[in-house]
Amino acid sequence: MSSNKKILKSAGFISLATMASRVLGMIRDIGSAWIFGTGMVWDAFIGAFMLPNLVRRIFGEGALNAALVPVLSESLEEKNEPSTRELISVVISSVVVILTVLVMAMFVIIYIFLEYFHLDEKTRLLFELSYVLFPYVIFICLAAVFMGILNTFRHFTVPALFPIVLNVFWIMALGCLWFVSDWSLEKKIWIVCWGILGAGVVQMAMQIPMLRRFKVSFKFRINRHHPGVRKIARLFIPVVIGTAIVPINVFITRVIAHFLGVGIQSSLYFSERLIQLPLGIVATPMGQVILPELSRQATRKDFDKLRETFSFSMRQVLLLTIPMMAGLIVLRRPIVRVLFEHGAFGQHSTFLTSQALMYYAFGLVAYASIRILTPVFYAMQDTKRPMIFSCVGMLMNIVFSLILMRHMRGAGLALAMSLSSSFQAFFLLAALKKKLNNLDDKKILTVFVKILAISCVMAVCCSGFMELFSREGAGILYQVVILLGAIGAGMAVFGTLCSLFKVSELKNLFEALVAKRAKRA
């Protein structure tokens, strides 16, 4: 099987795992809201879980891999097995020591606050829950290290499953609460916390058998002078800064939205959640899968193959994200209505959310492109440029937000994010072209124009379908059927036109899916 087909196959599995994780996450949130609501106990839990969850987002979703995988791939390509094994042991040992010291320091801080400060009930519960939740950091970060090691060996199956584990354990913990229905919420929340900690242990442990299959052993060693460790540390700091820019950008947007009136902040939250779905099932898996391959090619100085891998990945992402962008724009209102317009979420909320969704959707291709462009820099052990462009994008987002919010309010904030991300993607593309001289950009541009034109026709058909069959005041079941019908009609039109215009990327995707099914059979 060619490397490109392997990339599609691995990315496809990660996409399915991500989709399953998102569905379970929604069930988890519904169950949590049902039991705990939005009262003092849940507020305390959210506060206690905020820092461990932030560490999970930074470490567990790519930053550590971006620094570890290129250095480990370089060591494997040089076929220096003793040095590679020592590097793995030193990295794991260093992570264990650093995180243990961090957790112990947090325990001391928590103890001081609980013993020597007068705290209200919610704050006291927050610190008490942190005793259980903060050790989760150790296990999730070690799980991220193991994931990076397995990804380097081109194994993606087990690491792709570990995000699901947290949601499964969380849901199981919520299920246990039905057997202690007479307990107070203050007692029930402890079961959820212990469930999360148990998930962290399993997320780490489930990868150990596969590590052994690849003959990865571990001996406790601390060697801060090891060249591989020093290189990882040098690459890691800019990656963390660049990764942290994303939640900082979201935080800035929400702070500004807070002053724009009731409903703006919530509409941005719900629309952003909808945008994250296509990113999570298309762009993020592809970026994760290509990093080890690009790292090997960069180590071998095989830049022709690196360009080919980048071009292939970018074209496949364009194939999927452009029609998704078009679909979200024209079907924004029925999508929001079907998913959210229930109970307190009325027509005005649907209007605000669908407006924000439209302007967020304009930047979908840019968001996805950034997740493909950035790993190319990481593979060449250049983490500074992505960090710089992330900072530039954040500053542009602030400027655009302040300009656009005056006339467009919440929709202006969504558009500001799309514009700043588009500029960031352009800067990354220009810098990469300068670094590699040629990016096969003519082929990428041709595919972009073709798919954009086809997606426009698809969008018109989806819109026409909704106009033809939608009924005012129809029940939720009818709305769901019509929405699914419009999506199905759009997919049929898109597939037919891609076949007529010989868009080979769709054929590549179909062949990868067929090959995967044939192998299972």
Q: What is the pLDDT of residue 2?
A: 58
Give the range among 128-142, 169-183, 481-495, 501-515 with minimum mean pLDDT. 501-515
Confidence of residue 147 (pLDDT cuts 50, 70, 90): confident
pLDDT band per the 50, 70, 90 thresholds, residue 60: low
Quote the pTM value.
0.77
Contact yes or no for 261/35 (Cβ under 8 A): no
pLDDT confidence band for 264 (50 / 70 / 90): confident
Contact 267, 349 (CB under 8 A): yes
Residue 518 pLDDT exceeds 60: no
Residue with token string 């040089």? 78
Per-residue pLDDT at 308 exceeds 60: yes
| Separation CA 298–CA 296 (nearest Å) | 5
With a CB cutoff of 8 Å and minimum separation 6, the contacts of 513 are 12
Report how far apart, in Å, the C-alpha atoms of 440 and of each of 307, 308, 424 are.
Answer: 7, 8, 20
Q: How many angstroms separate the CA atoms of 160 and 358, rounded?
A: 30
CB 143 within 8 A of CB 64: no
Position 363 pLDDT exceeds 90: yes
Determine the average pLDDT of the residues in 160-166.
82
Neighbours of 318 (CB within 10 A): 22
Q: Is the confidence at residue 169, as pLDDT, over 90?
A: yes
How far separated are the first and last CA of the chain, in Å rounded?
17
Q: Calculate what percentage of the chain has a pLDDT beyond 70.
A: 90
Q: How high is the pLDDT of residue 416?
A: 93
Predicted pLDDT at 366: 94
pLDDT at 521: 47
Q: Which two tokens stand for residue 451?
A: 């798919």
DSSP-derived secondary structure for 378-436:
HHTT--HHHHHHHHHHHHHHHHHHHHHHHHHHHHHHHHHHHHHHHHHHHHHHHHHHHHH
Q: At what angle do helices 384-436 and 303-330 cross, to 10 degrees?
A: 110
Hey, which of 32-41, 80-89, 379-388 has the most confident mean pLDDT?
379-388
Q: Choose between 117 and 171: higher pLDDT.
A: 171
**Are the CB atoms for 146 and 216 separated by under 8 Å?**
no
Q: What is the dihedral of CA 317, 318, 322, 323, to 10 degrees?
A: -70
- What pLDDT shows up at residue 515? 55
pLDDT tens digit sequence for 394-421: 899 999 999 998 888 888 999 999 999 9
Q: Is the pLDDT of residue 203 over 80?
A: yes
What is the pLDDT, as a whole number, of residue 497? 94
More confident residue, 76 or 126: 126
